[in-house]
Structures are given as C-alpha cells and as structure tokens.
Amino acid sequence: MPTLILGNHIGWPLREKMNKLQVLAIFIIFILLSCSAPTHQIKHEAPPSENLSVKVDKKLFAAQVLLFKSATYEELKEEMAEMKRSGVNVVIVRVFHNKGDRYHGFASSTKYQSGVYFKSTIAPVVDDVLTRIIEIGHSQGIQVYAWMTTRKMDWKWSDAPKWRDSAYDLKAKTFTHSSGLDLFNQEVQDYITALYREIAASGADGILIQDDLVYRHIEGFGEAARRSYYNTFGFALRPENLYQGIYEGKGKYYVKSYTPLFWKWAEWKNQNITLFLDNLVRETRRVTPHMKIVLNLYYETIINPKNGIAWFAQDLTSLKDIDVDYYAVMAYHRQIMKEKNLSLDAAFEMISDITRKGLAAIGKGDKLLMKVQTIDWDTREAVPDGELIRVFEAIKRGGDVSLAYVQNGNSAPKIFLDKM
C-alpha cells in the first residue's frame, strides 16, 4: 500500500480537504465536550421545569400547604383541582418532616419520626410523595414548589451532635442547644446544599426556603460559630458583652437593649447567612437552571429592619443582591394581632403598610409574595371568608403583588380568585 506523505509540497485540493476535515474534527470535539456532564451531576428524575408545558405568569397565586386535607392520591387530585378552580397556579408543598409534625395523609406508613418527602440518598425518606404531587399538579396545569427546611432538621440534630448550634439561656445565663444546626459549620452547609440539589433533580418547579434560615438574637453560639468569630475578630464571643438589662415578664426573659458589639455580631451572622444563601441558590440552579427560588421573610424585616437584624439576623438590603425570584412575607394577620397586641382593623392597616414598604424595598411587585393565613394557628379553625376578604383588600391597598394563602388541612378559600 502506497504511503501518503504530507508536507509543504502537498497539492492544493488535498490540502483544502484536509483542512476541512481538521475543522470538522475540532468542531465535533467541542460539541462533545460541551454536552458532557460532570461526574457529580445529579440525574433528573423528571424533566426540568423549563421543558414542561405548565407555564406560570410572573405573578404567583399560590397555595402553601402544611397539610392537605386529602387522605388518598385520588382525593388529592380533586383537592388540587379545587385549588386550580380557586385561581391557584402554584402549589407549595411541605417536603420535610420534623418530630411532632403531622404526616401527609396519603403518605405510606414509615418508621421515621423525621425525614423528607422526596427521593434522597442522604436523608431518611418518610415517603416520596413529591413525585406524585408533581405528576398530579402538572396534569392540571399547576406548578409544584417544594417547601424545604434549612437549619431545623431533627434527623441530623440527633445524628450529628457537632452540627448543633447553641443558644444562650437568658434565665440560667448558660449555653443550651438550640433547635437549629450550626450554619458556620461547612459540613452543615454542604449537607443542606446537597439536599436542595436533590430537590432540584426531582422535577419540582421551584423551592420555598423555610423561615428557619435565620439566627435569633440568642442563637449563634455553636462550636463552629464561636471559632469563626474568634478567627474573624480576634477575641472570644461572650454573651455578657452582648445583652443589657435582662428581665422577666410573664414567665419569659427579655433584653432591654443591645450593646454595640451585639449589632456587630448580628450583622456578621447576617453576612454568613447571605453568603450561604447565594451559594445555595447557585448550586441548586446548577442542577435545574430555571428553578424558581422563594425566600421566606419575617414581617419585622420589612417594617422594622433594625428588629429584623436583631431578632433574626435577616436584612433585606443584603438579601436583595441574591438571585431570588420571590420574597415571601409572612403577613399572618392573626399572628400579628397576637404579637403586637393589635385590633383586627389595626392588623389590616399594618398588612397594608408591610405591602407598601415591601414593594418600595424590592422594587418589583411580582417578586413580593404576600402570604395570608387561612387557619388560626392556635385553634386550627378556618378563618371566616369575610375576614379573609378584608386581608386581601388590605394587601391590594398596599399594591399589586403576588399572593399565597397558607392552609393546614383545611379547604382552599373559594373567594381567592375573586378578590385578587
């Protein structure tokens, strides 16, 4: 067989053909490299939300469900159809279970007292109800968001003692375990992130981040937190340097005022939360790029930012820089009445004020998700329709925003679509 010698003396037609072949080979290699996935990428159990036929306007009309009233999946189909008829375009379903929580009625019997309701390789699976809920929701034109915890995970709280956060007992003036995990522990951050990536692979359209992504004013004394504080500031974190005028009132202990060092500490905790949240959002979207992210906010964060920093280490100014799709304000009127000792009318006025200030702070009405309670947290009785109508009207006076109602085993409010 003759040998083909390639050199400068090669003929022009053959050289042109070889150049084309080289270009083609480079192009094929580029395509293969671009399409290849990293070995650690999570495989989707269902198509990502951007490939689904279910479309939702930017403005949400959502039902956030602590507990469905349904006991079977057949009943759930009708319950979600009822939600659709009431105007709901997104259902936000609880996918975590801590000790004391009520189990979803259609979930299989389980040995676990805490765990998750989606497929996971790193957490106890109570039952994978999320897959079925997504199927039912999508068949009815409803998107499904997973409502997931962050710092409060009972299955890890007992399983990994070094992951626990510590709180300061104002009465005993000693440290005690808080109910949350130590977010300054990198292993804790990695674990939470891995769970959120599993949710992103489930086929869910979005994730609501639970309201426990905060540090209360007596939290943040965990081992990793204190070590990080010392490394940052060069001196130990001591409670006696933070609180002034501890006193008792109605069986509880309060603080009259905070020291300048406390405010520095609270800002530092907020910075840690913000950095973690930014990474959590990015890592979640590496699995599903168009995954919607909703962040719970306390109403104090909106109407009194100083209290938001002190009580929760939550600051909207820093959180706004993160690529979050919706900021969900827990504007629960009966809870506000109780906490602020307000009349019903005064609570409605405060909700209007929260809406106005939230719009001014966030800038876009569709990104502000105002959440309404449809059930009394203490009695578990449904809030009357007439009262709910007044809540919706109070929100509308404040501005044009996204809306969600929160239910706990009760029916969807039939006046939801009519009022919004």
If one counts the domains in the chain, the total is 1
Domain limits for position 177: 57-419
Residues 289-317 have a mean pLDDT of: 97
Residue 30 belongs to a domain: no
pTM, full prediction: 0.86
55 has pLDDT over 80: no
Q: Residues of 26-51 as b/e, b for ≥16 C-beta within 10 angstroms?
A: eeeeeeeeeeeeeeeebeebbebbee
pLDDT value, residue 327? 97
Confidence band, pLDDT 50/70/90 cuts, at residue 226: very high
Q: Domain of 236: which CATH number? A: 3.20.20.80
Q: Quick one: DSSP state of residue 36?
A: P
Residue 248 belongs to a domain: yes
Residue 144 belongs to a domain: yes
Mean pLDDT is lowest, of 14-23, 70-79, 109-118, 286-295, for 14-23
Q: pLDDT > 70: what percent of the chain? A: 84
Residue 21 belongs to a domain: no
Confidence band, pLDDT 50/70/90 cuts, at residue 86: confident
Average pLDDT, the chain: 87
How far apart CA 319 and CA 314 sit, in angstroms, is: 8
pLDDT value, residue 158? 75
Q: What is the pLDDT of residues 175-207, one digit of tens each?
A: 999 989 999 999 999 999 999 999 999 999 999
Alpha helices in 36-173 (DSSP H): 73-86, 129-139, 154-159
Residues 95-118 have a mean pLDDT of: 95
Confidence band, pLDDT 50/70/90 cuts, at residue 54: low
pLDDT value, residue 408? 83
277 has pLDDT over 70: yes
Residue 131 belongs to a domain: yes
19 has pLDDT over 50: no
Confidence band, pLDDT 50/70/90 cuts, at residue 411: low
Residue 271 belongs to a domain: yes
Residues 23-27 have a mean pLDDT of: 37
Residue 413 belongs to a domain: yes
Residues 117-138 have a mean pLDDT of: 98
51 has pLDDT over 90: no
Residues 71-77 have a mean pLDDT of: 97
Q: What is the pLDDT of residues 246-270, one digit of tens each?
A: 999 988 999 999 999 999 999 999 9
pLDDT value, residue 29? 36
1 has pLDDT over 90: no
Q: Return the closest-CA partner of residue 367 out of 327, 406, 330, 400.
A: 327
Tell me if 211 sits within 8 A of 311, measured CB to CB.
no
pLDDT value, residue 57? 62
Residue 115 phi, psi (nearest 5): 160, -150
Residues 383-391 have a mean pLDDT of: 92
3-state secondary structure of 168: strand
Alpha helices in 143-294 (DSSP H): 154-159, 186-200, 223-233, 260-287
Q: What is the pLDDT of residues 347-373, one digit of tens each?
A: 999 999 999 999 999 988 889 999 999
Q: Backbone dihedral region of 256: left (phi > 0), alpha (psi from -120 to 50 degrees) or beta?
A: alpha
pLDDT value, residue 56? 61
Residues 146-155 have a mean pLDDT of: 97
Q: What is the pLDDT of residues 160-174, one digit of tens each?
A: 889 999 999 999 999
How far apart CA 247 and CA 328 sit, in angstroms, is: 33
Residue 6 belongs to a domain: no
Confidence band, pLDDT 50/70/90 cuts, at residue 45: very low
44 has pLDDT over 90: no
- Joined tokens for residue 390: 């007044």
